[in-house]
Amino acid sequence: MILDTQTLVKKYGTPLYVYDFDYIENRYMTLKEAFAGKKSMINYAVKANSNLSVIAHLAKLGAGADCVSIGEVNRALTAGVDKYKIIFSGVGKRDDEIREAIQKDILMLNLESEAEMKRVELVAKELGKEARISIRVNPNIDPQTHPYISTGLHENKFGVEIDMAKRMYIYANKSEFLNPVGIHFHIGSQLTKLEPIAEAATIVADLVRSLKAIKIEIKFFDVGGGIGVVYDEEVTISPSAYAQVIFQATKGLDVTLLCEPGRYVVANAGAFFTRVLYEKNNGSKRFVIVDGGMNDLIRPSLYNAYHKIEAVGIEGEKTPADVVGPVCESGDFFGKDVPLPPLSHNDIVVVHSAGAYGFTMASNYNTRAKPAEVALWRGKDRLIRKRETYEDQVRLEMDYL
Ligand code: LLP
pLDDT digits (tens, 9 = 90+) for 15-72: 999 999 999 999 999 999 999 989 999 999 999 999 999 999 999 999 999 999 999 9
Ligand 1 nearest atom to the CA of residue 302, by list position: 24
Q: What is the chain's length?
A: 401
Q: What is the amino acid identity at position 35?
A: F
**Cβ atoms 340, 350 nearer than 8 A:** no
Question: Alpha helices of 135-233 — where are they, by DSSP H?
Answer: 162-174, 195-213
**Cβ atoms 149, 189 nearer than 8 A:** yes
Per-residue pLDDT tens over the stretch 70-85 = 999 999 999 999 999 9
Estimate to the nearest angstrom the gap between the alpha carbon of 176 and the chain centroid: 34
What spacing in Å lies between the alpha carbon of 119 and ligand 1's midpoint?
25
How many beta carbons lie within 10 A of that of residue 159, not counting itself?
A: 29
CB distance 188 to ligand 1 below 6 Å: no
Return d(Cα 212, Cα 169) in angstroms, integer.
Answer: 11
- Strands 40-45 and 64-67, by their bridges, are parallel
Q: Which of 223, 199, 211 is closest to 89 using CA atoms?
A: 223
Ligand 1 nearest atom to the CA of residue 110, by list position: 3
Give yes or no for residue 156 having a pLDDT over 80. no
Rg of the chain over all Cα atoms, to the nearest angstrom: 22
Q: Would you list the domain boundaries of the chain?
A: 5-16+268-399, 35-261
Establish whether 259 is a catalytic residue: no
Give yes or no for residue 119 having a pLDDT over 80. yes
Per-residue pLDDT tens over the stretch 372-389 = 999 999 999 999 999 999
Ligand 1 nearest atom to the CA of residue 48, by list position: 14
Q: What is the pTM of this model?
A: 0.97
Give yes or no for residue 335 having a pLDDT over 90. yes
CB distance 262 to ligand 1 below 6 Å: yes
Q: Of 263, 296, 307, which is best to mutate to test ligand 1, by the most ligand atoms within 8 angstroms of its C-beta?
A: 263
Give yes or no for residue 146 having a pLDDT over 80. no
pLDDT band per the 50, 70, 90 thresholds, residue 158: confident
Considering only CA atoms, which residue is closest to atom 24 of ligand 1? 357
What is the model's pLDDT at position 154?
Answer: 72
Q: Which CATH superfamily is domain 35-261 in?
A: Alanine racemase (3.20.20.10)
CATH architecture of 5-16+268-399: Beta Barrel (2.40)
Helix (H) or strand (E) holding 302: helix 299-303
Catalytic residue among 213, 328, 398, 401: 328
Query: How many Cα atoms are found within 13 Å in the side-chain-facing hemisphere of 20?
Result: 20
**Cβ atoms 19, 49 nearer than 8 A:** yes
What are the E-state strand segments in 293-353? 309-311, 319-324, 333-340, 348-351
The pLDDT of 229-235, averaged and rounded, is 97
What spacing in Å lies between the alpha carbon of 397 and ligand 1's midpoint?
32
Q: Of 189, 234, 236, which is best to mutate to test ligand 1, by the most ligand atoms within 8 angstroms of its C-beta?
A: 189
Q: What is the amino acid identity at position 385?
A: R
